[in-house]
Structures are given as structure tokens and as C-alpha cells.
Amino acid sequence: MRILLTCLCLLASGLLAAAELRLELPGGTRTWDSATLLAHPQARDIEIPQDVAYKRPMRYRALPLASLLEGVQPGDHLQLVALDGFAAELPAAPLLASSGARAWLAVEDPQAPWPPISQRTPSAGPFYLVWSDPQLGDIGPEQWPFQITRIHLLAPVAQRFPALLPAAEAGAAVQAGFALFQKHCLACHRLNGAGDSAFGPDLNLPHNPTEYFAGDFLARYIRDPQALRQWPQARMPGFATEVLNDAELTDLLAYLRHMAGRKVAP
């Protein structure tokens, strides 16, 4: 048994050591491995006081993500894809910033692996986007993707997925809700079959949640899913008012209600 455990540990260490991050950017496509990134000239130890994944202070070996984004401009749009299908859509401008909220690529050292996130979720490694001073840039939880495998340049969401667009005549609340949907929901969910994530269910097909959640139950579910439905495999986080305030939640619900009348088969 001890020999078997030793072999498994060595195998796990080997897989982690071989971890690679693929970048598909205007400057070309490049693959970085953990060892190279840990030895990068701009790598340093950083402290994250309120880590989103671990929900406690964490210390990482990391480098400014901007140092890897060759050829990327502030107006560009990037997607960060995780092992589990989570696909974070991010404008490039905050990723390139050198002041205020600053984006860091944390790199897991095979010799000092990070702890598991939960009993069923391994560590956030081998690559994890973390932020210093996130409150200075309105950075939400979905902008902290972990277990990243690929970063690539894409056209904005509205161009890639017209099935997500509200009607041109939709009011300001619906348009604001669409922007919030992109920021908080699209990393896990599709709508009308549109989106790149394979993490959560479609939010319009076959039914929009506004069609089967009565009264204020949908708003309550978004705030605290486990308070409404409890099951061991639940993965949706709650959205506190610090992340999504009441006015923003109202706008998000307005967008979802609007899209319930705009079902489009994929």
C-alpha cells in the first residue's frame, strides 16, 4: 500500500510539473509551463488578503498577467478557459493595468502544492488569476478563474453570440442587465445555446428561470442558492450585495425576463 501511495504521489507530482498554459494572442501562440513561469524575471511572492477561491488570506508565487499578454491592446477582449469548462470573459484593459486593481497569474509550485478548495475540488492550480486591490476596479468573483488552461483573444461577446442580444428597443435596465449577465453569468451559463461555457445549464432553453421561479424566489436564489435548494453537488455561488447590489440584481432580472420572450433555437 505504501508503495502504491508513493507511486500515485509521484504521478500527481509529474502531472503538475508538466502543467502548461496556452496563450493565443495577437503576438502569436505560445505555451508556457509551470517551471518557466515560476522562474520568470517578473515573478514574485504576493499576498492576497481576501482570496475568492479559498475564502481566506493566501500567498502565491505570481507574475503580472500583463507581462504575458504580448500584442494585446486595452480595447481587446480575452477569454480565460478552465479545466472544468468555466470560461471567463474579460476586457483586456483591467488585465493590462499597472495600478489600481492589478491582475496576477499565480503559478502553483509542484514542490509546494496549494491546498484543495473543497472536498470535491482540487487546488486552484496550476494557474489562477488573482487580483491585488480588486475593490479599486469593481472586480467580481467570476473574474478570478482558477485551473486555467488557455487564454485567447476573441471578438466581444455581442459580436460572437447575437442570440444573447436584447432587442434594440429594450430599455436601459435590460441593456444594463445584459452587461451584468456577461460579467457574472456567462462564465458558467449559456443562453439560447449561445456561449462557450460547459459548466452550468442554459438560462433560456428550454425554460428561462423567470418562467418557473415565482415571486422573489429567483432573486433569493441568486443571493444564496443553498438557502433555497440544498444538494451536495451544488456549485453555484451566492452573489452578495457587495458583488451585485440590489439595483444591479433588478437589472439582471429585467434582462432575463426580456430574453424569455426572445428564445432562439441553437
Q: Specify the CATH number for 158-260; select among 3.40.640.10, 3.30.1330.60, 3.90.930.12, 2.60.40.420.
A: 2.60.40.420
- Tens digit of each residue's pLDDT (9 = 90 or more) over 93-147: 999 999 999 999 999 999 999 999 987 778 999 999 999 999 998 898 889 999 9
Q: Where in the chain is the domain with CATH 3.90.420.10?
A: 18-154
Would you say 66 and 95 are in contact if contact means Cβ atoms under 8 Å apart? yes
Q: Can you name the residues that pair with 112 across neighbouring β-strands?
A: 109
Long-range contacts of 236-240 (CB under 8 A, 24+ apart): 236/188, 236/200, 237/141, 239/141, 239/184
Q: Out of 106-110, 223-227, 230-234, which region has the weakest mean confidence (pLDDT)?
A: 230-234
pLDDT tens, 51-101?
Answer: 999 999 999 999 999 999 999 999 999 999 999 888 888 999 999 999 999
Nearest to 126 by CA among 48, 33, 56, 10: 33
Distance separating alpha carbons of residues 219 and 239, to the nearest angstrom: 10
- CA-angle at 194, arms to 259 and 158, nearest 5°: 75
Which alpha helices (H) appear in 44-202, and where do they start and end? 92-96, 157-160, 172-184
Q: How far apart are CA 11 and CA 94, in angstroms?
A: 37
Return the pLDDT at 125.
95
CA of residue 224 relative to chain centroid, distance: 19
pLDDT range class, residue 1, cuts 50, 70, 90: very low
Tracing cell 441553437 back to the chain, one arrives at 266
Residue bearing the bigger pLDDT, 8 or 215: 215
**The three three-digit cell numbers of residue 38, written as one number:** 515560476
Q: Which residue is associated with the grid cell 440544498?
A: 230
8 A C-beta contact, residue 42 and residue 67: yes
C-alpha cell at 86: 468555466
Cα 257 to chain centroid distance, Å, stands at: 24
Q: What is the pLDDT of residue 191?
A: 95
Residue-wise pLDDT tens digits, 141-192:
889 999 999 999 999 888 989 999 999 999 999 999 999 999 889 888 999 9
pLDDT at 183: 87
Question: What tens digit of pLDDT does each residue of 22-46 get?
Answer: 999 998 999 999 999 999 999 999 9
Residue 230 has pLDDT above 80, yes or no: no
- All CATH 2.60.40.420 domain ranges in the chain, comma separated: 158-260
At 18, the pLDDT band (50, 70, 90 cuts) reads low
Residue 105 and residue 129 in contact, taking contact as beta carbons nearer than 8 Å: yes
**9 — pLDDT class (breaks 50, 70, 90):** very low
Q: What percent of the chain has pLDDT over 70?
A: 90
Distance, in Å, from the CA atom of 165 to the CA atom of 161, rounded to the nearest integer, reads 8
Q: Indicate whether 12 pLDDT > 50.
A: no
* C-alpha grid cell, residue 48: 492576497
Report the CATH architecture of 18-154: Alpha-Beta Complex (3.90)
Is residue 233 scored above 80 in pLDDT?
no
Which helix (DSSP H) or strand (DSSP E) does residue 129 occupy? strand 127-132
Angle formed at CA 248 by CA 246 and CA 253, multiple of 5 degrees: 95
Calculate the average pLDDT of the chain. 88
Round to whole Å and give the CA distance between 225 and 135. 24
